[in-house]
């Protein structure tokens, strides 16, 4: 049932939304149809075409709802005009439908947190309590957020269609931002009360990005984001130690990385590299994926092709002038030019990144390598104060502890 739910949910919601022009009705009727399936399939057996069965059942449920509502307000004639569901449209049309659903859920006129919630509900088929738990929000608050978003879609006239060609790149980038946010929240939860890594969110983000990649196979950034997620998720199990600490990339057991995900990610990156050679300038996700491809190509951390990584960060910096990109470049460059040069480059970002814990963690590591232990300890301390993820805090505390193996740090001077 779960498998059918996951793969058919978006199709059912999308086709009902097109037919009835009402996201709310589509969602509720789809949920009813799936509930009937949970009850009946274990007894009657799974129908030969589960997707068609679910769509037909959901259509009937939607018509029942419209009839009930019409009778309630005394519109018998309208209610009687509704007949059985129309025949299911051909597969190509259905594929388009899901794309429309994704674009409406990620519409820029909705608040970013609503886009995430709506996408997980309408496209991902997660229940409201599941989404509320994933983002540590009260169930009622999450329900309200989704209800408000649906109400705005209706009242403000947000259209159910794939955007015009001229708007498409910006809108696709909005969709990818939502998917990347879901992935990152799963990969490095920002809340100390959450599990440090939540595979249900990373898995869902990958599943949805695969769907978008299938629908827009020509879009390089979609392929780039999928590759980035696969190459990141491949390292998931190596990333948290048995004692619940985050393990840095250079300390991870590379043998436990998921070879299948890496192979798939590398294949996508190679395709994008070929496109780049043919003249298509890569966007940020493709460059980030390429950086991760370099890391996952090294059998040992010492084999990492750092000059390649630095070149890619330079390319990224041309697209994105943010100090976070500059920080990552500086950390990679330190592997080539040494920790002193690295620290000088990192320190130049102090004003912009003082509130960003990876800045202090990077500084601390460079100071440690330079033997400036007291300063390193203070920098770890600051990183720990600012970090939210429990596994990351544990790893930072361990690294700080290793500075002074004989006892607690004593402030210098």
Contacts (Cβ under 8 Å, ≥6 apart) of 196: 188, 189, 240, 244, 246, 389, 390, 391, 392
C-beta of 167 vs 253, nearer to other proteins: 167
What gap in Å lies between CA 329 and CA 310, rounded to an integer? 6
Q: Which is nearer to other proteins, 91 or 155 (CB)?
A: 155
Nearest CB to other proteins, comparing residues 167 and 251: 167
Smaller CB distance to other proteins: residue 164 or 302? 164
Surface-to-core class of residue 402, CB atoms within 10 Å of its CB (0-12 exposed, 13-18 middle, 19+ buried): exposed
Which residues sit opposite 240 in a β-bridge? 246
Q: Which is nearer to other proteins, 21 or 338 (CB)?
A: 21
* Shortest Cβ 24–other proteins spacing (Å): 17
Shortest distance (Å) from residue 160 CB to other proteins: 9
Shorter beta-carbon distance to other proteins: residue 107 or 272: 107
**In Å, what is the CA distance from 274 to each residue of 249, 288, 295, 312?**
27, 16, 19, 16
Phi then psi for residue 253, to 5 deg, are: -80, 100
**CB-side exposure of 274: number of CA atoms within 13 Å?**
7
Distance CA 40, CA 45 (A): 7
> For residues 133 and 120, is the Cβ–Cβ distance under 8 A?
no
Minimum Å gap between C-beta 310 and other proteins is 38
- Footprint of other proteins (CB under 8 A): 107, 109, 155-159, 163-164, 167
């Amino acid at each position: 049932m779960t498998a059918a739910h996951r793969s058919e949910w978006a199709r059912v919601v999308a086709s009902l939304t097109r037919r009835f022009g009402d996201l709310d009705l589509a969602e509720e009727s789809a949920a009813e149809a799936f509930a009937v399936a949970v009850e009946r399939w274990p007894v009657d057996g799974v129908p030969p075409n589960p997707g068609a069965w679910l769509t037909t059942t959901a259509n009937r449920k939607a018509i029942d709802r419209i009839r009930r509502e019409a009778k309630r307000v005394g519109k018998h004639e309208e209610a009687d005009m509704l007949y059985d569901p129309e025949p299911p449209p051909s597969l190509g049309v259905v594929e388009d439908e899901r794309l429309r659903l994704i674009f409406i859920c990620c519409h820029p006129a909705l608040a970013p947190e609503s886009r995430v919630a709506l996408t997980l509900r309408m496209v991902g088929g997660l229940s409201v309590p599941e989404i509320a738990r994933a983002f540590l929000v009260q169930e009622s608050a999450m329900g309200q957020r989704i209800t408000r978003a649906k109400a705005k879609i209706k009242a403000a006239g947000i259209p159910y269609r794939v955007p015009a060609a001229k708007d498409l790149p910006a809108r696709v980038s909005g969709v990818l931002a939502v998917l990347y946010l879901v992935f990152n929240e799963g990969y490095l939860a920002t809340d100390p009360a959450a599990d440090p890594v939540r595979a249900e969110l990373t898995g869902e983000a990958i599943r949805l990005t695969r769907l978008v990649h299938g629908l827009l196979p020509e879009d390089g950034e979609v392929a780039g984001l999928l590759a980035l997620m696969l190459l990141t998720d491949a390292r998931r199990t190596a990333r948290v130690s048995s004692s619940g600490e985050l393990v840095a990339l250079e300390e991870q057991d590379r043998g436990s990385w998921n070879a299948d995900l890496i192979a798939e990610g590398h294949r996508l990156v190679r395709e994008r590299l070929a496109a780049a050679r043919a003249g298509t300038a890569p966007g940020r996700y493709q460059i980030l994926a390429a950086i991760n491809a370099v890391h996952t190509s090294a059998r040992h951390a010492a084999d990492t092709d750092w000059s390649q990584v630095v070149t890619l960060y330079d390319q990224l910096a041309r697209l994105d002038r943010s100090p976070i990109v500059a920080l990552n470049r500086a950390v990679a460059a330190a592997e080539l030019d040494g920790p002193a040069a690295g620290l000088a480059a990192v320190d130049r970002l102090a004003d912009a990144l003082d509130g960003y814990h990876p800045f202090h963690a990077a500084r601390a590591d460079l100071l440690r390598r330079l033997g400036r232990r007291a300063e390193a300890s203070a920098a770890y301390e600051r990183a720990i104060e600012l970090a939210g993820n429990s596994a990351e805090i544990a790893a930072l505390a361990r690294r700080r502890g290793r500075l002074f193996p004989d006892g607690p740090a004593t402030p210098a001077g």
